[in-house]
Amino acid sequence: MEIEATVQVDYTMYKHFHYFSLFRKKDRNKSFLILMIMIPILFLLSAQLYVYNPENPVWVMGFTCVFFAVIFLIMKIFYAPKKYYRSVEKLLSIPYSVSFSEEKFENRQISTTATGSGSYQYDMIHKAYEEKDIFYIFITKRQAFLIPKTALTKGTPAGLRKLLQEKLGAKFVLCYKE
């Protein structure tokens, strides 16, 4: 069974990919929630301890560390995706097609400004994830093909899921409950 898709990455799609990459686990929403609860608690605790005892260098260092952790997290979540997308927008906005067969996964850029193609045996794929609306096919730890389910031009999301489960085994992760 051949499955095909044509994809053009926009900022919204890239932003979701960025957030997904921050917590790339089956229960990443839970991890994100724990982080978003713990940092403010630590911030308030260290601020309160600092107010009651500002001469103690331990509290000053703790407050400073938590403060910079909050700033870093805000930058990583809100500023970084837009900054990175803008730096590579021309490259990411080039449409590409992907096709899945029984033997391999192939991609091809569809543009007059840039051309390229790749062919990957399934054992070369680092990992694949399925979200509610999209598949992420990682060819390295940090590089992935984004394949929205609505972009499939041949085949179905269920067919692609079945193929990836067969070919990748434990390297395929379903990230939502049906």
Q: What values do phi and psi take at 100, rounded to 5?
A: -120, 125
Is the domain of 50 the same as that of 73?
Answer: yes
The domain that holds 110 is classified in CATH as 2.30.29.30
**pLDDT given for residue 70 in this prediction:** 77
Return the beta strands (E) in the chain as ranges.
3-7, 96-100, 104-109, 117-121, 127-130, 134-138, 144-148, 152-154, 172-174
Is the same domain home to 45 and 66?
yes
State residue 178's pLDDT score. 66
How many independent structural domains does the chain possess?
Answer: 2
81 and 99 inside one domain: no
- Residue 80's domain comprises 17-88
What's the pLDDT at 115? 83
The three-state secondary structure class of 27 is coil
Q: Mean pLDDT per 10-residue run, the chain (178 residues)?
A: 91 89 64 69 72 71 75 81 90 90 91 86 94 93 92 95 94 84
Last residue within a domain, chosen from 88, 121, 144: 88
Q: Same domain for 76 and 109? A: no
- Beta-sheet strand order (sheet of 3-7): 117-121, 104-109, 96-100, 3-7, 152-154
- pTM, two decimals, is 0.78
Residues 39 and 103 in one domain: no
Q: Which residue has the tokens 């600092």?
A: 50
